[in-house]
Structure 1
Amino acid sequence: MANSVKNDSPIPVADISGAELETIAVRAGVHRTHELEHSEAIFPTSSFVFNSAAEAAARFSGEAEGNIYSRFTNPTVQMFEERIAAMECGERAVATASGMAAILSTCMALLQQGDHVVCSRSVFGTTNVFFEKYMAKFGIETTFVDLTDMDQWRSAVGDNTRMLFLETPSNPLCEIADITLLAGIAHEHDALLVVDNCFCTPALQRPLLLGADIVIHSATKYLDGQGRCVGGVVVGKNQQMEEVFGFLRSAGPTMSPFNAWVFLKGLETLCLRMKAHSESALDIAKWLSSKASVEAVFYTGLETHAQHELAKQQQSGFGGVLSFRIKGGKEEAWKFIDGTQFLSITANLGDTKSTITHPATTTHGRLSDESKMRSGITDNLIRVSVGLESVEDIKKDLQLGFVAAGLS
């Protein structure tokens, strides 16, 4: 039997400071136990044992470091946090139970009654509902603006504005925001710029290096990459992350150790996957653009995209999500979606499996008709998350959709 060594004294791996992103994605945050395991260990425990009452008191008071209770201290979760923080070039990360839990934790930790948020209206539908309905209950007002209209952002900011929130590229129309410019607007008014980096991930875009204060992810998407687990994460400076961690410790929207382990494994292949997703999505976007029955294709990799040059400046790739409008309305869009054979009809994205959905009745279905109209969520809009199948097979499946909708 191996000699007993405390698991709270892990053996770190070699220093990789200064390494390239691909290396960080594989090696950052690894801490081995006395067993010297090669793959990261999972710690499926609710609590941790102390050597004495005095040690327990010291850890609970913060006088001593160490694990206490898996709601807020778990080694596997901490490894995931360290790795994603390194990849995003942030000082610290806080992992949560879902992407929406990451947004909730950030807002509850850093906002208070009377504060004001300026939010892009081009966000995930649930994010819109979260700010408009639920944050309003706590006396936090939100003004929604067009993502790409800098004058609207400037006009909306007031003396009590504490946060600017956006997605770039946006869901599902792939609009792009100038992160550096918005960071300047936020900081002129002592507000925080929070960027949902779900579509690009740090493999393609690192908002903190462009001036953003906080990055948020639904780890459920590309960070996992295979549709296995639900999770979220917030990345930023120690000062803000300590507040987010404090909320998480008290409220408990916590990531499980098993999910954290899955996300760690997902990060190892993230750079490779995002490159492949991007290449396939660009091919399909060009193919869709050639179709007479397609009214518009929304993908930042297309030279015809209004913000293609900006995307090239702040992204190293264009991602795997695109959307397009077909001739007709909801009936044709539904027939198109139902006509595909192997594309998964699901609202999730970022999977190795290609997915297809109708935003107006799924991801953005809770928005009012007016909000949908203002956000460009039309009945004939279809969103596709391009997976890792053969590009030609994906095209063939989409062609079945055109036939089913009477648009071939």
Structure 2
Amino acid sequence: MPDAPAVTGIGLVTPGGIGAEATWQAVCAGQSTARTDVELAGLPVDFTCRVSGFDAEALPGTRQLWRYDRSTQLLLAAAAEALRSARLDPADWDPARIALVVGSAAGGVSTLETQHRRFLDHGMSGLSPLTLTGYLPNMAAGHLTLALGITGPALQTSTACASGASAIITADLLLGAGLCDIALAAGCDAMTTPLCTAAFAKMGALSRRTHDPAGASRPFDKDRDGFVLGEGAAVIVLERAAHAAARQVPTSAYLIGHAATSDAHHPTTPHPQGNGLRRAVLQALQTAGATPHDVDHINAHGTSTRLNDRTEAAVIRALFTSRPPSVTSAKGVLGHTMGAAGAIEAALTVTSLQRSTVPPTANFAEPDATTAGLDLVTGHARRQNLTLALSHSLGFGGHNTVLAFSTSI
């Protein structure tokens, strides 16, 4: 891809830990973070992957944290780390030349649920005047622009579980259009709420392994029975390679290709032949000037659901015949962080390239007939020389996004 943007900063807040290094160590250890969740007591699914030890009051430069939904709090913390990683100080930049794109599947849904209960219990007297600014989907981006003083384009993308990856694509398009010099691409969600959990459980999407939460998220495994809800945020700093070189900052990887397609098949079920994902992979490789033979590694969407893993495995087997890439899914450790997943997993893909290491897929014991044949990394992290890696993200509504990252351009 001409003028491929450089990744110069990463910030992560996930169930694996607070910070990019803590998260990386957690996924490399391959131990699930799923635990029984007291907020879900009495529901048929009562476990999630939450960010533990997170203290919103410790966020630098923020006040009155009660104004923010939890998803926005996680985003603010991830952004602070990403800026440190990229050696950026808002006091030194031209705020009109900074863009921000945040992906989220549900916006401030925790705020909405809390305020709805208060409204039902107490009427308008119990309702916060900040309900809308906490809940509206665009406000994560809005609050972050206020915190950082960004006056360039600020957008919110919502493509369900592909939202974070869609944000990265949109950020690259803003850079390519010359509308900014630096773009912050992010994903955040905190859908580990009673209503969201009950709704996903009602449609049969969640694992019911209440007797073994830590073993519940098991991507591509024969005994998978659904995903585990998680929460988190990721911020990736993108800038043109020449701009990064002029700032003399290290580059972790380059975004050399991407694609987004739609299935037009079913509201929640992927196309049975994976046609949309297949087209997205091929289009991303075309924009990268690469072929399936060039791909060393795939960070899969890998939700631990019957249909997603079957479809994704079939597409990978069909496209990568001459040189199968290594495959992993972080959701065995982190759960499904929904709109944040695409950005979190993109950050992990970049880190794999940077460190020549592929984390294992947690809880994998045995493939079934639909997931067999993948070069799935299991048990322990694998050392591997990596040049080109893909990150897959899919979402309800038939969204398919594929990002292609490389160590060079």
Normalising to structure 1: TM-score of the pair? 0.26
Q: Larger relative contact order (C-alpha < 8 A, sep ≥ 6)?
A: 2
| TM-score, structure 2 normalization | 0.26
Rg comparison, structure with higher value:
1
More strand by share: 2
